Amino acid sequence: MGFWKNKILPAALALGMICSTSVPAFAAMVEMTLHYNGAAHSYKAEEVHITINGKAFTDTDMPAVIINDRTMLPVGAIARELGAEVEWNDTAREVYITKGDTKIIFKIDSTTAFVNTNTLFMDVAPMIINDRTMIPVAALAESLDQSVTWVDASRTVVIESKQSTQSVTKLTGLGLPSSAADTQVFTIQANGKITNYEELDLTDDKIVLDIYGVQNGLAATTSATNSAIVTAVRTAYHADGDYTRVVFDLVGKTDYTVERSEDKTKLTISFGNNVLEDIRVRATSTTDVITLYGESALGATVTKTNEGLLVEIPNASAEVDEVDCDDLQFIDRIYVEPTGLNSLRVYLDSSEFLEYETESDGEEFVIRVTASSVQNMSYDTKNEVLKLEKVADMNIDRIAYNDYYQKGYYELTLPADYENDYGFGTWKINSDRVASLILDSSSGKTVLRFEQNQASVYQVEEDSKYYYIYVQDPRDVYDAVVVIDAGHGGNDPGTIANGLQEATLNLNVALKVQEILEDETDIKVYMTREDTTYMENKDRAYLANGCADLFVAIHMNSAENILANGTETWYWNHSSDPGELTSKQAAQVIQNYLVSYLGSTNRGLKESSNLIVLNSTTVPAVLVELGFVSNLGEALKLSTDAYQQKAAEAIADAIVEIFEDYEYR
């Protein structure tokens, strides 16, 4: 075996299941006992599918299994399916695979393999499981010049010969409306021809398209659709039928059309022009009830204005222009105006302070209006300013500011009790940044609690008539804003090995990064958590989208191979990244600093569209894996305060460089 001389260190090729999309509930289960490493192990998991150049592959003797987050396959059948010959050396416990001029050797329980004159380092070793030689599928396929991808929604390993991947048709783009008021048109773009697709009539609140012979290159979920009709677009590739399913979640039944472009590379989904057919009103002893009737679900949104309430209806025309309000108590006038952008505005004018609730039921949209206990103030939803009339003296320099952004609110404590001047209770705002305002004077001082839609900065000013409370985007106040995410937390400890818990290590490093960056007066830091609490991944992304220029998630790694070590940084570039800074560029800067400061093995950059904190962010976002807690030597380093401090300094210094060297807005 003397034909290996030169050595290379490729990126890890074992197929990792680092994904966030849920598995369909109808997936078949594999339940069996696995015998390896001298012990029996119970195994139960959803079935893993294999496709090779579009054709389903099944080993009837042994299914593919997931061992420590790695997909393992019996070597014989899969190698022969890929056109290779296989020999087993029982004495050396080695597998020899030959295909043309390519010669490969895998050794049981060794993470080192040989491919012709190159040495291949894997982060998971071949194993004997149930008397079958099992190897990491990506290591074999890549060695035989095959491309390998993992489709999480259908739990499918897709193997394709690299010379044929150029002809594989994928969905590559999702076009969205520019705003909720704009024409509601969505586009699905492919890099080749869409020869066959089917519309499925399942429920009134969904549009389902199955696009055949096309793989999925889109994010699993897109929730920021700029639409009052479509709440989310979800995509998943189904290898068993070789189609990608695209689902549009709707607010209700709505007319639409699907058209394919002349070159067959694009589908256009257009929502028909709705019609506001009628507005009816009635009053109870405490409530005004206004009901809007449409030809289909209206997708209406309501915001508070200085004059009352504003109802916006996208993609609609009206058969009514004004409504008799003589029987109503709180609403003085209701009238309808087109916006010129193929949408409508319905104005509910009132001289009262109002509270309201809404309900959508098919073609009906109901608004229930009651009187508010709030007084002597108004909220400008366009400019995000709360105006308090100067009905009482107040020293605004004595206002206390408390930011509880992780809990979703911000409090201003006024210097005295102003309940008689400004009222009490909850006042619905429903602006872009503020959901509602709660006034509470039970402590002897009036507290204004802003229930936030986005983390915000508050500034108070005054003139001769008003106190102004400005609710501002942090990016309009600070030169740079970063969200630091300590991964996992709460009931989610992350990976656990060698006596270490990932969530705790992540938090330790994140807090050190926060402490360092707080000395940078030009950088504002927001944290997804500062203790053992847990924040949903989608909420971590949402926090960043509403306030930040950069998102950095901190994690620790783990592998079945206890020798696996080093630092890697994950990213997914967004088409929406503002400025010139991309997620990949940010990832490279942070990776360079970490490897330099820590002296760790450089595992390079990893790209993934399946991590929620990467695919649901709209600002440059990265996820760092500082090291492997499963590696005893690296675990000992990661457990020390000094090593954590080095990691924090590397991340903080990288963030400073990113903001200094790149245009990020």
Q: Please state whether 210 falls in left (phi above 0), alpha (psi between -120 and 50) or beta.
A: beta
Helix, strand, coil: what percent of the chain each, to 5? 15, 45, 40
The partner residues of 347 in beta bridges, in order of sequence, read: 310, 335
The answer to whether 29-162 and 477-661 have equal CATH topology is: no
Q: What are 172's two structure tokens?
A: 């590559």
Q: What is the pLDDT of residue 507?
A: 98
Structural fold of domain 477-661: Aminopeptidase (3.40.630)
Q: For residue 345, how many other CB atoms are within 10 A of its CB?
A: 15
d(CA 492, CA 505): 13
Q: What is the pLDDT of residue 24?
A: 38
List per-block mean pLDDT (blocks of 10 residues) for the chain, which spans 665 residues. Answer: 30 32 52 87 86 80 80 84 83 83 85 76 83 85 82 81 65 85 87 92 87 88 78 87 91 85 94 91 96 90 87 89 94 91 88 88 92 91 95 97 96 97 92 94 96 97 97 97 97 93 97 96 96 93 95 95 94 79 96 97 90 90 97 95 98 98 92
Q: What are 470's two structure tokens?
A: 């400005």
User: Which pTM was predicted?
Assistant: 0.61
**Burial class of residue 453, CB neighbours in 10 A (0-12, 13-18, 19+):** middle
User: 12-46 burial, b if ≥16 CB within 10 A, otherwise e?
Assistant: bbbbbebbbbeeeeeeeeeeeebebeeeeeebebb
Contact 299, 252 (CB under 8 A): yes
Which run of H or of E encompasses 140? Answer: helix 137-143
Distances (CA, A) of 369 to 32, 343, 356, 357: 60, 23, 4, 7
Q: What are 420's two structure tokens?
A: 């008689």
Give the CATH class of 29-162: alpha beta
Q: What is the pLDDT of residue 86?
A: 85
Phi then psi dihedrals of residue 364, to 5 deg: -105, 135
d(CA 33, CA 40): 6
Contact 127, 108 (CB under 8 A): yes
Q: Name 308's Cβ contacts closer than 8 Å, sequence gap at least 6.
A: 331, 332, 347, 348, 349, 350, 354
> In this structure, what DSSP letter does residue 549 have?
S
Sorted by where each begins, the domain ranges of the chain are 29-162, 170-271, 274-367, 377-472, 477-661
Q: Using CA of residue 230, residue 236, residue 238, residue 239, what is the dihedral sign? A: positive
Contact 399, 462 (CB under 8 A): no
HEC string of 338-405 equals ECCCCCEEEEEECCCCEEEEEEEECCEEEEEEEECCECCEEEECCCCEEEEECCCCCCHHHCEEEEEH
Q: What is the pLDDT of residue 11?
A: 30
Helix boundaries (H) for 537-611: 537-547, 583-598
Architecture of domain 170-271: Sandwich (2.60)
Q: Which of 455, 453, 425 is nearest to 440 (CA)?
A: 425
Contact 337, 349 (CB under 8 A): no
Q: What is the pLDDT of residue 25?
A: 39
HEC string of 498-539 equals CCEEHHHHHHHHHHHHHHHHCCCCCEEEEECCCCCCCCCHHH
SS3 label, residue 185 = strand
d(CA 528, CA 405): 9
SS3 label, residue 584 = helix
Q: What is the CATH code of the structural domain delimited by 274-367?
A: 2.60.40.3500
Q: Name 390's Cβ contacts closer than 8 Å, sequence gap at least 6.
A: 462, 464, 465, 466, 467
> In this structure, what DSSP letter does residue 143 have?
H
Q: What is the CA 19 to chain-centroid distance, rounded?
A: 12
Q: What is the CB-side half-sphere exposure of residue 291 using CA atoms within 13 A?
A: 9
SS3 label, residue 198 = strand
Q: What is the pLDDT of residue 576?
A: 64
The partner residues of 133 in beta bridges, in order of sequence, read: 128
Please provide the DSSP assignment of 215-257 as one string.
EE-S-SEE---S-SSEEEEEEEEETTTTEEEEEEEESS---EE
Q: What is the pLDDT of residue 17?
A: 31
User: 597-613 burial, b if ≥16 CB within 10 A, otherwise e?
Assistant: bbebbbbbbbebbbbbb
Q: What are 334's two structure tokens?
A: 């209701």
Please provide the DSSP assignment of 433-502 as one string.
SEEEEEEE-TTSS-EEEEEESS--EEEEEE-SSEEEEEEE-HHHHSSEEEEEEE-SBTTB---EETTEEH
Q: What are 102's two structure tokens?
A: 């390519």
Q: Please state whether 582 falls in left (phi above 0), alpha (psi between -120 and 50) or beta.
A: beta
Rg of the chain taking only CA atoms, in angstroms: 29
Q: What are 366's two structure tokens?
A: 């109901």
Q: What is the pLDDT of residue 12?
A: 30
Phi then psi dihedrals of residue 614, to 5 deg: -100, -40
